[in-house]
């Protein structure tokens, strides 16, 4: 990649003052320090919010939390591609570094987006293991270690939204709930106790917002920071959705 010899980093940031306000681009110069990531550069802008024209402006706001790519808060488009700002090292980025908010989600301010739709989708697919009841449900069946290994990959989903942002079929023209919810459907269905709600999840999968909207562009699996095998989940869900749709039709 490009060696950073310059003492100054150039940033081009897409900003927005409010929820429905128009967006605009603003450029900043940030003094370079070794091993900087996009978050530490944004912190530098926060400390000294002066743009390239020397004007003091409102500090750029963004979301972040864990700084180690496990919380999913700092997703944004960096040089056009969606990823986590915390794991984006400036030494590996071409300059000027452009930062944009994810466009699939409502932009609240600058780089801050509202990711609530994903949490709503998790409710739709009943993204939990039902263990509450009026009596103790026991320990539940054992899970083999190979199944645990497989489930673990899906359990690392941090609802960051990268897959929805990169999916060409998740947009305002399509009701698709997206790869994240589909991956989690597979995850909860493969759990022996979670499978108690399998049919309810399959109804969502074969519904209007479900898997029929997937066009196999497979961007989801490419951009997933956790390397979750989302396309495998989608193919498996295709298979079980076909079986489910057919058998439930014959049961009518």
Residue 111 tokens read as 């780089």
Instruction: Specify the residue, 48 or 248, whose C-beta has the smaller distance to other proteins.
Output: 248
Q: Which one of 51, 95, 193, 232 is in contact with other proteins (CB under 8 A)? A: 232
How many residues bind other proteins (CB under 8 A)? The answer is 41
Minimum distance between the CB of residue 17 and other proteins, rounded to whole angstroms? 25
∠ CA 40-115-219 to the nearest 5 degrees? Answer: 85
CA–CA separation, 201 and 121 (whole Å): 11
Q: Which one of 46, 48, 148, 239 is in contact with other proteins (CB under 8 A)? A: 239
Instruction: Specify the residue, 115 or 186, whose C-beta has the smaller distance to other proteins.
Output: 186
Site for other proteins in 36-95 (CB under 8 A): 77, 80-81
80 CB-near residues (< 8 Å, 6+ apart) = 98, 100
Q: Which one of 24, 224, 245, 250 is in contact with other proteins (CB under 8 A)? A: 245
CA–CA separation, 186 and 236 (whole Å): 8
Residue 107 lies near other proteins (rule: CB under 8 A): no
CA count, 13 A, side-chain hemisphere, 7: 0
CA–CA separation, 162 and 232 (whole Å): 17
Minimum distance between the CB of residue 38 and other proteins, rounded to whole angstroms? 17
SS3 217: coil
Taking alpha carbons only, the member of 191, 187, 197 closest to residue 230 is 187
Site for other proteins in 161-180 (CB under 8 A): 166, 168-169, 171, 173-174
Positions in the binding site for other proteins (CB under 8 A): 77, 80-81, 166, 168-169, 171, 173-174, 199-200, 202-203, 206-208, 210-213, 215-219, 221-223, 229, 231-232, 234-236, 238-242, 245, 248
């Amino acid at each position: 990649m490009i060696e950073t010899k310059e003492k100054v980093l150039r940033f081009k940031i897409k900003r927005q003052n409010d929820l429905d306000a128009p967006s605009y681009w603003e450029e900043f110069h940030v003094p370079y320090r070794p091993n900087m990531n996009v978050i530490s550069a944004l912190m530098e802008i926060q400390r000294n919010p002066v743009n390239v024209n020397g004007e003091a402006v409102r500090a750029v706001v963004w979301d972040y939390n864990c700084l180690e790519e496990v919380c999913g808060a700092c997703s944004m488009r960096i040089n056009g591609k969606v990823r986590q700002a915390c794991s984006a090292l400036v030494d590996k980025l071409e300059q000027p570094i452009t930062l944009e908010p994810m466009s699939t989600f409502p932009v609240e301010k600058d780089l801050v987006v509202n990711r609530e739709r994903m949490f709503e989708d998790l409710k739709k697919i009943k993204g939990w293991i039902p263990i509450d009841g009026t009596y103790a449900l026991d320990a539940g069946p054992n899970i083999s270690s190979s199944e645990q290994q497989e489930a673990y990959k899906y359990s690392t989903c941090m609802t960051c939204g990268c897959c929805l942002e990169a999916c060409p079929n998740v947009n305002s023209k399509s009701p698709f709930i997206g790869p994240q919810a589909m991956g989690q459907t597979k995850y909860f269905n493969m759990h022996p106790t979670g499978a108690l709600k399998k049919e309810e999840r399959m109804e969502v999968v074969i519904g209007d917002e479900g898997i029929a909207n997937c066009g196999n562009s497979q961007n989801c699996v490419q951009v997933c920071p956790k390397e979750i095998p989302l396309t495998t989940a989608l193919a498996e869900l295709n298979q079980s959705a076909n079986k489910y749709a057919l058998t439930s039709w014959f049961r009518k």
